[in-house]
Amino acid sequence: MSVIAVVDYDMGNLHSVCKGLENVGAVPKITDSPATIEQADAVILPGVGSFDPAVQHLRSRDLIEPIKSAIASGKPFLGICLGLQILFESSEEGVEPGLGIIAGKVRRFRSEPGLTIPHMGWNQLEFTQPNLPLWSNLPPQPWAYFVHSYYVDPIDPKMRAATVTHGNQNVTAAVAKDNLMAVQFHPEKSSTAGLQMLSNFVSRVREKVAV
């Protein structure tokens, strides 16, 4: 049985993420243990809240290096919402340095007439890496559920796996490179499409373990 570590740092929507994983046949393991993360077959970093407290909580639990090591090891990794943002170098939301795994910055939506901030609710994804395994068996522009006031801006545009348009602003909704995948939206709250993404991630984990 594949072990998927769901990182607990007091900033995550752990219950809903684990429920989504269980619905697609996975057995998630909530943990704040560096050893468990190291031994796991895959890692999910969820997150809800603000950038600075998230980084501080990870640091206080000595989880930053285990997360970096897990990604460097090649095991499947999925960041969700704030778990995407803290992979970057810095954020306009705070002063703490991010994990620096992805070059770039987290930026706040620009104010414009009629634009609501935060970007909250359902919106359609536009795939920029259409062949990404995470998108398998999905329609071309699936709906996903967002709750965020900040978005990631990677320096390398090839990192973008999907974008979303809010008002007049088209921003990054997902990034991916090799074993690392991370999304701004909440797949665990994104109905059938979201469950399909989680199922795709679990299938990727099983394939990796079977090799």
| Domains of the chain by start residue, with CATH | 4-210 (3.40.50.880)
pLDDT category at 15 given cuts 50, 70, 90 is: confident
What residues act catalytically? 81, 186, 188
Return the pLDDT at 55.
97
How many Å apart are CA 190 and CA 65, to the nearest integer?
Answer: 30
Return the pLDDT at 11.
85
Return the pLDDT at 210.
81
Question: Among 95, 5, 104, which residue's Cα sits nearest to residue 54?
Answer: 95
pLDDT category at 56 given cuts 50, 70, 90 is: very high
How many Å apart are CA 162 and CA 142, to the nearest integer?
Answer: 11
Q: How far is CA 63 from the centre of its chain?
A: 16
Question: Is the pLDDT score of 12 beyond 80?
Answer: no
Return the pLDDT at 209.
84
In the chain, alpha helices (H): 14-23, 34-39, 51-60, 64-73, 82-85, 191-210
Strands 180-183 and 169-177: antiparallel
Tallying the residues shown for the chain, one arrives at 211
Return the pLDDT at 37.
97
Question: Among 7, 27, 16, which residue's Cα sits nearest to residue 187?
Answer: 16
Question: Among 46, 80, 49, which residue's Cα sits nearest to residue 63?
Answer: 46
Residue 104 contacts by C-beta under 8 Å, 6 or more apart in sequence?
A: 88, 89, 152, 153, 154, 155, 156, 159
pLDDT tens profile 59-106: 999 999 999 999 999 999 999 999 999 999 999 999 999 999 999 999
pTM of the model: 0.96
Contact 18, 190 (CB under 8 A): no
pLDDT tens profile 166-178: 999 999 999 999 9
Distances in Å between the alpha carbon of 116 and those of 2, 27, 119, 120, 177? 41, 37, 6, 8, 31
Share of the chain above pLDDT 90, in %: 89
pLDDT category at 13 given cuts 50, 70, 90 is: confident
Average pLDDT over residues 114-122: 95
